[in-house]
Structure 1
Amino acid sequence: MADNIDRTTSTNSIPSIFPAVGRWWRRGRLLLRWALFCLLAGVGLAILTVLYLKSKPLPPPDIGMTTQIVDVRGRAIDQWDKGEHRNYIPLKQLPASLIQATLIAEDRQFYHHHGFSPRGILRAAWVNLRSGRVAQGASTITQQLARNLYLTHDRTWSRKLKEAIYTAQLELHFSKDEILEMYLNKIYYGHGSYGAERAARAYFGKPAHRLTLAESAMLAGIPRGPRWYSPLQNETRAKQRQLAILDAMTRHRTITAQAAKQAKQEQLVFSTPPKPGPARAPWFRDVVLNEAVSRFGLDEALVQNGGLRIYTTLDLSMQEQAEHAMEHSLAAQPDLEGALISVDPQTGHIKAMVGGKDYRRSQFNRVFAKRQPGSTFKPVVYLAALERGLTPAARFESKPTSFFHEEKPYRPTNYHGRYANRFISMGEAIATSDNVYAIHTHLTIGEEETVRMARRLGIHSPLNPVPSLALGTSDVSPYEMVQVYATLAAGGMHHPPTSILRVEAPDGRVLAQAKPQEEKVLSPAEAFVMTHMLKKVFQPGGTANRVKQFLKRPVAGKTGSTDWDSWLSGYTPDLATTVWLGFDQHRPLPQGTSRLTHQAWGSFMRDALAHVKPHRFSVPQGVVRVKIDPESGLVAGSECPRTIDSYFLQGTEPRQTCSLHHPKPKEERNSSWWERIIKWWFG
């Protein structure tokens, strides 16, 4: 009994002996459960956060790159960017020395962390706590990229939180190589240079892939403080940082000690960073942007800031000659404006474009302005007439004439009231720009035929099918008129004008490429017959005969003058050009404006073709040459006092011989002049 009592007493006394141990044991198990719960919850939250950040798309990386526009020979015309002059380059095209130097200088553990450096964070946190503000950042390459892509550089806690989020997303959405490539193309190197490629060209005048180890180490030290470490502003400080980077590369066995020694001893030669200048062809540059967007469907933001390389049709040498010719011709009249467009008729490539007197004063491109073309429109009428069976020998009387349209009289007049007062041919009407003849032709074939021909030749402006249309009273643009004459120069093949050859992405991929577009709208025979008649415009008696003092080669074209507009459209086999002069406010033109127009056209064509061998307009099949008596328009006989060579579409040439000039009797041919006078006197 006593034993039982003792055992009971002994057992029941354990809790009373170790009460604290029991309580700590229960609390420990509770804390362990909570710790495990928190750990699992933390892991779950981290997984959810990662999944959320992975699913949440990042804003498009804002690496605005400089788009370059070059002429047909690769010469720079202009560039587009947001003020960040940058040439994008893939990581694989950068030298290993620059990549290694950058990693040593900015983030040695870049390939071994997930966007954050724990040691850097602890160091920065301690400094920030001691100062009571955000005074230092961890600054991994990924964090720097996040800040440069999406954020400002202010030192606030909210910005740091956003930076952490974007940093995590960058690491989740991109590979390490992609992040490094974006960084090396985004970062600022000073002196207006963004990205390694632009910096290499700015500081050393060479592409990045040609950088030496010494040059790479120098560039790698600049982004930490572009003003502080720029070798152009403080070469001593920049050199010290370069040496420190080379030493660090040696310690981390990125390079050998011998390579570092040679790099330290290398004498660096610096270049002066180029300052972007104004566009060398501003009106053409605007056309390039419009065509890239509207014709090729490229996004405008991509075109202007996507680091593209746009190869154009422009010839800067011709462009400079066009600008000089227009400047010289417009100088005499303060408010007089003008436009010039020149194209290669065989391709439609725009070779030169001037849209006005001064782009800084007015960006309006008058190449696309709608004005009355005057007599430069007449070849459209005559081409339609050739198709409808009329020939260069077709004759209408040149005299004051009243025509009726919708029962209303229409009385056109010739320039200065000059009429031949006789029947003239189509060739003579073109050379002298006879308005009455043009109206006769227009009404003979029907006004709608003229409109249809204009559409085929590239004129899409509204055209009013009335008698006066033949005289160019419907507004069209120089851009449209040059297509008419380029089609003739190309033997009837119409090529829509184009300004872009191809567009390349920063990595060299071709994003857009012009495909040859051509349409046969005239037969070569029709184009040649019209060309032969238009050549007379530049010959003695023609309205543009003064151009011959500038241009000593085969040329064809037509002048046009109204009270408000002065035109000359013409071509050789190699180049078609249209020039317009006038006032924007449709004021009457001063005397002598047509002379300025001819001067601008002639001097430009002379200079633009100075190194091009003259070519003749070759006679195609389907054309017949006939000697014509200009008085009768028939085949010239042996007694016709004057003959001209005229070309006809085969099958339309005249076959009847002229009978106006009969041969003299044999006895009259053999008698003396005195005998002929006596015979005449006595009847």
Structure 2
Amino acid sequence: MKLLKFRQNGPKRRLPFRVRIEKWMPKLRVIKRLAIYTGAAVAVMLAAAFCFLFYLRTQSLPASSISQSSQMLDLRGNVIDSFHAGENRQSVPLKDISPYLIEATLAIEDQRFYDHLGFDMKGMARAALVNVEHLSTKQGASTLTQQLARNLYLTHERTWSRKLKEAMYTIQLEMHYSKDEILSLYLNQIYYGHGAYGAEAAAEQYYGKHASELTLAESAMLAGIPKGPKYYSPYMDMKNAKDRQKTILHTMADQGIIPRTDADAAALELLKFQPLGSSKQDGIAPFFRDYVHYMAVDKLGIDERLLSEGGIRIYTTLDPDAQRAAEQAVADGMPADSGQQAALVSIDPRTGYIKAMVGGRDYKTNQFNRVFAQTRQPGSSFKPIVYLTALQGGVMTPVSKFKSAPTTFTYDEGRKTYAPNNYNDKYVNDFIDMRQAIASSDNIYAVNTIMKVGPERVIEMARKLGIESTLKPLPSLALGTFPVSPFEMASAFGTFANGGKHVEPTAILRIEDSKGSVLYEAKPNTAQVVDPAYAYVLTSLMESVFDTGGTGSRVSGMINRPVAGKTGTTATDAWLVGYTPELTTAVWVGYDKGRKLTQAEAHRAAPIFAAYTEKALASIPPKIFAIPDGVVSVYIDPKSGKLAASTCPSKRLESFVSGSQPTEVCGEHADSPVSADKAARDAQSNTWWKQFKRWWAN
């Protein structure tokens, strides 16, 4: 039993070696075949790679793309700006470029440049992890060699074929050139914005010095621009440029390239920049051209490189005669020794075409375009939007009355009060109607109106008219206390001039490539946001601004054509926004730092508007504002607001939207009202008679 148990539970006897080998032979044969195939595959791949690399080594790199000048043209086809990529590209040896700029560029663009063979595998892996973590392309890993290949030989389209070509050219660059030669090529061709290609051109463009003379602070600022010239140029956005400069300085310190103290000191250094672009300083409409460049690149997605050297043509809406008239009006309207600034923008309300733009008095010394500054209170020039809301809402008519006297208003369910004042505390101390309120710019009437119609509805109307700036539903909104840009005001008033139809302002009509193919064609948004009858009634009321007693009457003799508009004055800003049937113009004057205006300084906007309007339209015959269907004209008694009787000692011709005109005859006079036919005839001739009187007085 013990022996049997041992045999059953004891160790098993091993098979003979020969038997075991025969058992494993099929598996060994499979493994052997796999090893042979794998080795052969690797050998073939290595041979193919060697042949491919040998092929690339024997091939010449393609010629870099030939630059072509791009052009910007005005409404008549005249060239107003050219983009010559070759004119501002100056190559210098690597030794003539500041070591600070070289190190700053490597620190932010390609830290392992001297260690890799054209592709930074560690950087690619790191970027991939970051992008996966954020589920978007947050970080790239292109080396300087890859960027150079792309910029020299390829477009910036995002396709697999382009990426494959980029990889091939990257390998060839690494084969044909040393690292220093690649770095030199890169620093001599990279785009630094505003037409400057290469470190030497950029150093002269921004600082007026050679690339070899750049300081640490200047170099860190320049090194950050190629990432995105439209975002990191100090001319376009100083905050973005400064933030990126600090990032580069801190990166250099982290890598031990410079001491931390030097990085901190450079970040605090105040840099002095050259005026932007000599060609823009001397040409026509420099602010407009900057705006077109911004629209083409930032809004329409035209590549900076294509714009600078792709031979494209940008057709714009600029009217050269109107632009010259605008520049002359601003120059003549501002004393030479004054630090006061001005802005003017003029739009054809029928098409939305921007005909003229002046963003400041001197582009050479300051390129800030005040036409788009959303930091200025429009003051009383905002009131027509309030009155239009009341008219179209049916809650008021031109003869609605409020008392012009000191008034305290309550709002927010009685918890808050608001007590506005009239200019110089001048009040009629009697009831006035809408025409009188607009002509004299009565603040009490305007606040009464917004309290009746509701500030939320005024904001809704402003949005329809093209105003996008922040507005709050407060009583003070009626007096233009929330900043709005001159551009927005011109756009809004253009709706009044165009019979209530808002046309989106347009600066670029069409963009063509070098072969004439259309890359972009303007299709401005157009919408009838106001009933034509209400737009006309408001226009009729705003014509009174230029009549005797109106706030624009001082310049009425300068304009020999029908015109409507509104002045606006705050402690720091003065405006006149007005229009004819063909042209809507916003003029602002003030100080950049918000200094208070003297009485003389506050009166400079209206003469600029008048001089410009008359000169810009000198070749166009005067035209009345067309009276649309749905408008009736009747004679009213100004005191009562009722229909005027034939024997009334005081009568005024007034326009109403049909159905809103008064029907009751002035109670003090028992006879019949003035004939409706006579009122209609007088309405047609009234504007021309007023213009004749202006001409005669002038």
Instruction: Report the TM-score when normalising by structure 2.
Output: 0.60
Which of 381, 405, 410 in structure 2 is aligned with 1:404? 410
Write the deviation string for residues 201-259 of structure 1: whole angstroms up to 9, x where unpaired.
xxxxxxxxxxxxxxxxxxxxxxxxxxxxxxxxxxxxxxxxxxxxxxxxxxxxxxxxxxx
- Give 2:181's aligned residue: none
Which position in structure 2 is the counterpart of 1:335? 339
Of the three residues 324, 327, 335, the one matched with 1:323 is 327
- Letter paired with 1:61: S
Matched-pair contact (CA < 8 Å) for 2:71–2:312 = yes
Task: Please name the residue that 2:27 is paired with.
Answer: none
Equivalent residues in 2 for 1:105-116 (5 A)?
none
Deviations 1:422-481, CA, capped at 9 Å, x for gaps: 111111111111100000000001110111111110111000111110000000000000
| Counterpart code for 2:82 | Q
Kept after mapping to 2: 8 A contact 1:279/1:285: no
Q: What is the match of residue 386 of structure 2?
A: 381
Q: 2:487 & 2:637 partners in 1: Cα distance?
A: 38
Q: 1:642 aligns with which of 633, 650, 656?
A: 650
Asked if structure 2 preserves the Cα contact closer than 8 Å seen for 1:66 and 1:85, the reply is no
Which residue in 2 is equivalent to 1:80?
A: 83
Give secondary structure in 1 for the equivalent of 2:302: coil
Tell me which of 71, 74, 87 is aligned to 1:71. 74
Matched residue SS, 1:580:
strand
- The one-letter code matched in structure 1 to 2:387 is Y
CA deviation vs aligned residue, 1:375-400 (integer Å, no higher than 9, x gap): 10000000100122111111111111
C-alpha deviation, 1:163, in angstroms: 13
Output aligned runs, 1:180-191, within 5 Å: none
- The alignment status of 1:461 with 2:459, answered yes or no, reads no
Aligned length: 451
Residue of structure 1 in register with 2:399 after alignment: 393
Q: Secondary structure at the match of 2:603?
A: helix
Rounded Cα–Cα distance in structure 2 between residues aligned with 1:57 and 1:398? 85
Displacement of 1:630? 0.4
User: Which residues of 2 match residues 201-350 of structure 1 at below 5 A?
Assistant: 278-350=282-354
Change (3 A) 1:535 1:279: same
| Paired position in structure 1 for 2:377 | 372
Would the alpha carbon gap of residues 365 and 45 (structure 1) be closer, same or farther in structure 2, given more than 3 Å must change? closer
Q: Name the SS of the counterpart of 1:592 in structure 2.
A: helix
Find the counterpart in structure 2 of residue 99 from structure 1. Answer: none
Where structure 1 has 5 or more consecutive residues not aligned to the other structure, the ranges are: 1-42, 87-145, 151-161, 170-185, 187-274, 664-683
Give the distance between the partners of 2:586 and 2:344, measured in 1 at CA.
Answer: 6
Q: Is the 8 A contact 1:80 1:305 kept in 2?
A: yes
| Distance in 1 of aligned mates of 2:655 and 2:171 | 81
2:599 match: secondary structure: coil
CA distance in 2, matches of 1:58, 1:636: 89
Match of 1:673 in 2: none
In 2: Cα distance, 1:495 partner to 1:650 partner: 26
The one-character-per-residue Cα deviations of 1:170-197 (angstroms, maximum 9, x if unpaired) are xxxxxxxxxxxxxxxx9xxxxxxxxxxx
**Whole-Å Cα distance in 1 between the matches of residues 575 and 558 of structure 2?**
17
Counterparts of 1:164 and 1:402, CA distance in 2: 78
Distance 1:590 1:286 in 2: 32
Change in Cα spacing, 1:399 to 1:76, as seen in structure 2 (3 Å) is same
Rounded Cα–Cα distance in structure 2 between residues aligned with 1:587 and 1:149 = 50
CA RMSD of aligned residues (A): 3.3
Give the counterpart letter for 1:631 in structure 2: K
Cα displacement (A) at 1:482: 0.3
CA distance, structure 2, for counterparts of residue 596 and residue 391 of structure 1: 32
Task: Provide the C-alpha distance between the structure 2 equivalents of 1:302 and 1:607, rounded to a whole number of angstroms.
Answer: 37
Which residue matches 1:591?
599
**1:163 & 1:468 partners in 2: Cα distance?**
63
Note the C-alpha offset of 1:565: 0.3
Match of 2:357 in 1: 353
Structure 2 residue aligned with 1:504? 512
1:488 to 490, 496, 506: 496
2:61–2:172 contact (8 Å) kept in structure 1: no
Pair 1:164–1:526, CA change in 2 (3 A): closer
2:567 aligned residue: 559
Q: Is the 8 A contact 1:448 1:465 kept in 2?
A: yes
Shift of 1:62: 4.1
Q: Matched residues in 2 for 1:516 and 1:330: separation?
A: 34
Match of 2:580 in 1: 572
Q: Distance in 2 between matches of 1:535 and 1:520?
A: 22
Structure 2 residue runs without a partner (length 5+): 1-46, 90-148, 154-168, 177-188, 190-277, 672-698
Corresponding residue for residue 433 of structure 1: 441
2:64 match: 61
2:317–2:354 contact (8 Å) kept in structure 1: yes
Q: Output the amino acid matched with 1:286.
A: D
Do the aligned partners of 2:506 and 2:524 also contact (CA within 8 Å) in 1? no
Structure 1 counterpart of 2:468, one-letter code: H
Q: CA deviation at 1:292?
A: 0.9
1:497 CA displacement: 1.0
Matching of residues 608-647 of structure 1 within 5 Å: 608-647=616-655
Partner of 2:526: 518
Distance 1:610 1:283, change over 3 A: same
Q: Distance in 1 between matches of 2:337 and 2:499?
A: 38
Q: Is the 8 A contact 1:65 1:84 kept in 2?
A: no
Report if aligned partners of 2:68, 2:84 keep a CA contact under 8 Å in 1: yes
- CA drift of 1:57 comes to 12
Instruction: Give a deviation string over 1:30-80, Cα, whole Å, max 9, x none.
Output: xxxxxxxxxxxxx999964586589x9978934333221111111121122
Q: Which moved more, 1:531-540 or 1:304-313?
A: 304-313
Name the amino acid aligned to 1:435: N
Instruction: Note if contact 2:467-2:488 (Cα within 8 Å) is conserved in structure 1.
Output: yes
What amino acid does structure 1 have at the position aligned with 2:531?
S
* Shift of residue 330, structure 1, vs aligned partner: 1.6
- Match of 2:355, SS state, is strand
Percent identity, please: 47
Q: Deviations over 1:464-513 (max 9, x none)?
A: 11111000000000000001111111111111111101111111111111
CA contact (8 A) 2:399 2:433 kept: yes
**1:623 Cα deviation (Å)?**
0.8
In 2, distance between residues paired with 1:497 and 1:613? 24
Alignment partners' CA distance in 2, 1:439 and 1:481: 20
* CA spacing shift, 1:397–1:79, aligned 2, 3 Å: same
Which residue identity is paired with 1:385?
A
